[in-house]
Structure 1
């Protein structure tokens, strides 16, 4: 999904040891046997059986049973000091942890496997472990580390001449190129890998490659090509009845339709993906699918359901430790809470999203990828290069010795270059971190400015350093005031008075935010808001009445609760008028956005001429909203307003 909701499928290398037939005993030339050898032979036979059974359970995605069997076989191999099989066990245990979403344990086991294989000289096992560590870091969103391990694995496979494994590792490098938005090179690696898999007729690897190519077409918005590749991926997965492959394909198809905003088409794919993920206990796809479904629910207008789904998905992502999935969950909750009018929760998850976005370091990854031309060429040509060097060594021994001397000089030169590059890298990293810190502070300052001023006004202030006054022909002004404020306040302590006013005005802030009208200011116990600025909105007339009615409902309920508890309570008058105004910013210190004009004065008179618990509107305002069927009106006749004379007024209520 866009914004990182779904992660890339990671190709893991399994060593071909599951099907080996291992025999622990040989014919003895003597009737006497060594008891230690007998014990070791017996342990090896049991360990081999446990290992083979554990790997079969892993193929069936029965990870709990697989892990139990593999750990039991590991203990027996350690007893007989079989280094090769110990490394195999660590590799399979790590893959099981990976599929369960336990990334920290997966990395730990892969590292143990790599260290052991390197020690005993098992090069293929060592390279496979490096590749797999890269896949774990990729799943966590740590793309720089993933890139480093993939590159080391590919170089090792290239030197060995292992074309299939080399294709897996280079395909994974293609995934990182895609993350860095270098689609041309990503497609180059994918198609190279697919060509190798087709020659080997490896259907599982073909499926992975088709899926990767399909997802790349999604990023390039080539949706027809993407669907053709991903539909073929799902077809192969269904034919093989492989849950992991099915989950991968379903997730990618869901992402395809999500990117086209076709949410009803995307939802069934994610729902099926979640069901399969629950069956096999794939924490990665469980969390991603929950968040994806939640995000779709938000787009379909079901934000309450979205909150539940995304909270659950985020909790799974916290266990998983994946930055990219946590970011998707926080973004989903921000959008959903915002739609529900819960600004406090929305702001919290907005800040969390920004923090996680900084952690992903996608920009740094893209820069690193773009500077890899030399390494890339080295990877592509490594197999041919190794073969050529081997032939030269056999035919021209003296020339090889000369080349070795030259190589030593190059190594020394490269060492010096690396030292310089490390210094420059440290300096660049420091600058990068400084810029990131400045960006965080800038974002906080802008968020604070937007909390004080309307967005359009804030942008003008940042651009010009001042804001030009503007005239508006039709703006609705709302005033509230607490009746008998002074007498009621005398019955309260200063602290309780401030807390009570804060409680009321906080509720008013949430209400005006809900109805998209602009809070102007508070003056003592008075609250002022306006509808129709800085953007003219035909719904603002209706919305400001709905806001006023909801404010009175809150105050009536609040007063009843306070009086029931024996506390002083405020009653409130509220008035609304509409007409032309002038708006702008005054002052240079503690500045505020304000409005002026006779409309403001008249709205104030509507409030002072009203009654507690009622929304009092002018006859002028009534003429604009009298056709709204959701309201009922009570004509009050001509009421005297201070400084204005007699004016027609109406009480407005929600229609029954």
Structure 2
């Protein structure tokens, strides 16, 4: 389940044990909740649970441990006024233990100022009572009279079972709403930073730090001539144009169950690894073909042309980073796909032999035809037809779209890939080419 919810429930279990004075069990659950909050970087959760642990330790005279946690809490960013006030109160308890009554009085006065400004009547009542009792210890009669009067006045306001229950319900509702908002904020952050399928897995508490795919189909797309075409364009217009293109390709990826990985400048990377090899290759092929069909133009009216490279093979993927989450894919498969793109040509889809083999109805036929096809390619004859069904003599690619695309493969020949040497590669082409 959602780790945020698990952490919250675990912390609430600690609260229940603390209320029943089973402080050892309370500390056990608080420790588990703290570890969960620290694991996924929930600062507010860490601050709240640390405060609960401090109060429990102080209540049971474990002052040295409480002091260590108070020192740690001092380095944390505390945004909630109630937590700030509770910290001051805990410091006052520790000061009283060391017989530093003046310091205790300063801490409690600050806690009272925080709750009074925030209109937190129940908390203010508690701090007036603490200050009254402390004034008695300090033989501060004026202080005793002042805080006792305020304590009695506020007590009168909240007296009665119905009023107390109402305040408790309001407090519970505020806490619940705060937890819900925090949960939604966490979800929104994940969805803004990660592919939806990956964010859903993280919310369910699944491990997404090391996915391995035997048959990951990877696509790299680059805009041909981007630098020369955009050198004189206003930056805002360049960004707007890229946003239009890449948003369109995002939609194409969603249509074919393909995961967008990232954009770097004018380059776009996506992959699919959750299906079998043929399904993954077909999905990525459809994305490439659909992207090529889209019509974009430069300011001078010339058509924008993409250069695309495709490859398939084993790859590792996972979420990296803690401050800015990113789902990325690594491995030699990614490197080859990138080099397929860099050695492609404007307006063409360059595919490896491994990828082409999966698109061919007969891998042996692909190899047989491949050895003798350079001359045929020069005459414009397609080499490898796709699919097992034909429409007007043109085989049809397996597709998840409403209107399945059609394509054919044409042998390019031996291509020099950096770090790989010569590789047999192919052009993936729509039937109208």
* TM-score calculated relative to the size of structure 2: 0.48
Relative to its length, the structure with more strand (as a share) is 2
- Name which one, 1 or 2, has greater alpha-carbon Rg: 1
Relative to its length, the structure with more helix (as a share) is 1
* TM-score calculated relative to the size of structure 1: 0.33
